[in-house]
Amino acid sequence: MASFHFEIKSGRNASDHADYVARQGFHRKREDLVTAGHGNMPAWTGDDPRALWKAAEKFERKNGAAYREAIIALPGELSTEQNEALVNDLVSKLAPGKPYQFAIHAPTSSLEGEPNPHLHLMTSDRVDDGIERPAERLFSRFNRKQPEKGGRKKASGGRNRMQIRDDVIATRKLVADTINHHLSINGHEAHVDHRTLKEQGAQRNPERHLGPARVRGMSAQEKVEYIAVRGITRDEVN
């Protein structure tokens, strides 16, 4: 059944991580890339996302994030084409006006042997305001009085900790609602819930990630038993 996973990360090594997301270079051998794309690139990038990430690493302030990333589980109930439509919807809602790069990965689960489709969405915080700037200026400090003389304003700027927390909660709900919409329009009764297990009133602990090494060490019977128990606890909640 569909399960909800939404994770936000940030980092400085943007170009290397973009290679991982797009399965470029060393990462080509993974062979689990379904589709990839990008958008809202500044003109000076030549529509090459790697140029953006390289510039972000060079010109973004040293203690600032060169990129942010959302990692979102995609429902196995949907076909590849249906999940691609879901991803297009998610990207439009999560990255309006932001330079972005995304990919769908579908590695095979080491436990159940089933595809595990999920979205990686990398974004820059620097929102397009219609002013063309060279790379070094785009990532400089925003000038409120004379925007053309400063950098692009950051979507994450000017918020306190409570506002950031509320934004994350709202984004989680937006993602869950979008997933549920696509499940519904494609004829599935399954749904996901963005709330924590405690908020849902579930009387169990979150599943512990076993990791590939732990799974490889399990016998076939142990895998069957683990999957069966996991299915029972999910049914109790849903």
Report which of residues 205 and 156 the model is more confident about.
156
The pLDDT of residue 218 is above 90: no
Q: What percent of the chain has pLDDT over 90?
A: 71
Residue type, 101: Q
Provide mean pLDDT across the span 18-40: 96
The pLDDT of residue 234 is above 50: no
Assign 74 a pLDDT band (cuts: 50, 70, 90): very high
Q: What is the DSSP string of 51-98?
A: HHHHHHHHHS-TTS-SEEEEEEE--TTS-HHHHHHHHHHHHHHH-TTS
The pLDDT of residue 121 is above 60: yes
Lowest mean pLDDT among 110-119, 159-168, 172-181, 206-215: 206-215
Q: What pLDDT sits at residue 238? A: 27
Assign 156 a pLDDT band (cuts: 50, 70, 90): confident
Q: What pLDDT sits at residue 185? A: 98
The pLDDT of residue 211 is above 80: no
The helix/strand/coil state of 200 is helix
| 31-44 pLDDT, tens digit each | 999 999 999 999 99
Sorted by sequence, the CB contacts under 8 Å of residue 108 that are 6+ apart come out as 32, 114, 115, 116
| 177-198 pLDDT, tens digit each | 999 999 999 999 999 999 877 7
Report which of residues 115 and 81 the model is more confident about.
81
Rg, the chain, Cα only? 20
Q: Which amino acids are annotated catalytic?
A: 20
Give the number of residues written for the chain: 238
The pLDDT of residue 232 is above 50: no
Q: What pLDDT sits at residue 196? A: 79
Report which of residues 125 and 197 the model is more confident about.
125
Assign 68 a pLDDT band (cuts: 50, 70, 90): very high
Q: Name residue 11's beta-bridge partners.
A: 67
Tokens of 175: 């993602």
Q: 80-106: string of b/e by CB count within 10 Å (b at 16+)? A: eebbbebbeebbeebbeebbbbbbbbb
Q: What pLDDT sits at residue 199? A: 79
How many CA atoms within 13 Å lie on the side-chain side of 189? 1
Q: What is the DSSP string of 110-152?
A: TTT-SB--EEEEEE-SB---S----HHHHTS---SS-GGGS-P
Lowest mean pLDDT among 60-64, 68-72, 145-149: 60-64
